[in-house]
Amino acid sequence: DHVSASRDAANMLPMKTVCRALTCCLVHRVLTLGEPQYLVDRLPSRGEVAHRSTRQRGRLHFPRVRLEIGRKGFSYFGPKLYNDLPCSLKTFNVNSFKD
């Protein structure tokens, strides 16, 4: 990889890590502020989908996918990453969460 040495020297994060962080920030912003509506509709909670009381009621639902390309879509990737975050991070306000 011809870029790694330069990236490390500049103290930059790998692009995969940056993408994951930005996706988590976007999901948190959408859930906290409730906008934009088209993204709110893509982030249903498990409680909204399952219609019963479970331990995962506070977690986000993500659709079942069969292909790898489906795992890269926002409807799957965003909730999957956000569900993996510790609960203590999810209580931050939008500005604190980004930092």
What average pLDDT score do residues 17-26 get? Answer: 93
* Residue 34 region by backbone torsions, left for phi larger than 0, else alpha for psi between -120 and 50, else beta: left
Non-local (6+) Cβ contacts of 47 within 8 A are 53, 54, 57, 58
Higher pLDDT, 78 or 7: 78
Q: What residues are paired with 60 via a beta bridge?
A: 45
Domain that holds residue 64: 4-98
Model pLDDT for residues 39-68, shown as the tens digit of each residue:
999 999 887 776 666 666 678 998 889 999
Q: Which comes out higher in pLDDT, residue 46 or 78?
A: 78
Mean pLDDT over each residue of the chain, to the nearest integer: 86
What is this structure's pTM? Answer: 0.80
CA distance 61 to 42: 9
Domains in the chain: how many in total? Answer: 1
